[in-house]
Chain A
Amino acid sequence: GENVEQHPSTLSVQEGDSAVIKCTYSDSASNYFPWYKQELGKRPQLIIDIRSNVGEKKDQRIAVTLNKTAKHFSLHITETQPEDSAVYFCAARGYQKVTFGTGTKLQVIP
């Protein structure tokens, strides 16, 4: 089955700096890669996604890149703000189910 590895597990950045979270996947057939943000005690919410026929996608301060050859994808958050502090999960759609990474706890220091 699909295996998704996510790094780092924790990340602290100064407000205004950029944050990058990286994920690798194992199933070359995976073709959909969503990113979720989860605040403490709340549900994961989709923030951005990318499909395998696209190399990069951007939405305001967040962007996702995909390297199909290397089987890795990354989340980039620019000009970080305190409200970006949360746990971020990557995911990959393999055969029949979506597999989530283990999460990255992002802390933005004011």
Chain B
Amino acid sequence: DSGVTQTPKHLITATGQRVTLRCSPRSGDLSVYWYQQSLDQGLQFLIQYYNGEERAKGNILERFSAQQFPDLHSELNLSSLELGDSALYFCASSVEGDGNTIYFGEGSWLTVV
């Protein structure tokens, strides 16, 4: 158990819909990262937050947005879903803003039908 908690674990939704994925970082970690992993693909960096502020942005679509709340949990919002958005979405957290050791959650499986 890495200490990073993600919900839901599995989600099936229809095209055009909107979903929210939630992440609670390890106790004491200020940085939260979101990654997308499609089938047999690598880890695509989406976005990073540090202590509530956006720190770095990767290949995140405009249909996707995220935020980190004062209690440090984070949410990834995916809207106007397409079949190609089906993937495993990982949240990760670390102590320092520059991503020292990153610990991953178990991931949220999103299936768009």
* Chain A interfacial positions (CB closer than 8 Å to B): 32, 34, 36, 41-46, 49, 89, 91, 93, 95-103
Contacts and interface: CB of A to CB of B under 8 A. Distances in A.
B2 interface: yes
Chain A contact surface mostly: strand
Interface size classification for chain B: 20 to 34
Contact of B99 (A46, A97, A102): A97
Given A97-B56, A99-B45, 19 more contacts: A32-B99, A34-B101, A41-B88, A42-B107, A43-B90, A43-B105, A43-B107, A44-B104, A49-B101, A89-B42, A91-B102, A93-B99, A96-B98, A96-B99, A97-B48, A97-B98, A98-B99, A100-B35, A100-B42
B106 interface: yes
Nearest to B44: A100
Interface in B82-113: 88, 90, 97-107
Contacts of A36: 104
A42 B90 contact: no
Contact of A43 (B33, B101, B106): B106
Interface of B: 2, 33, 35, 42-43, 45, 48, 55-56, 58, 88, 90, 97-107
Nearest to A102: B42
Contacts of A41: 88
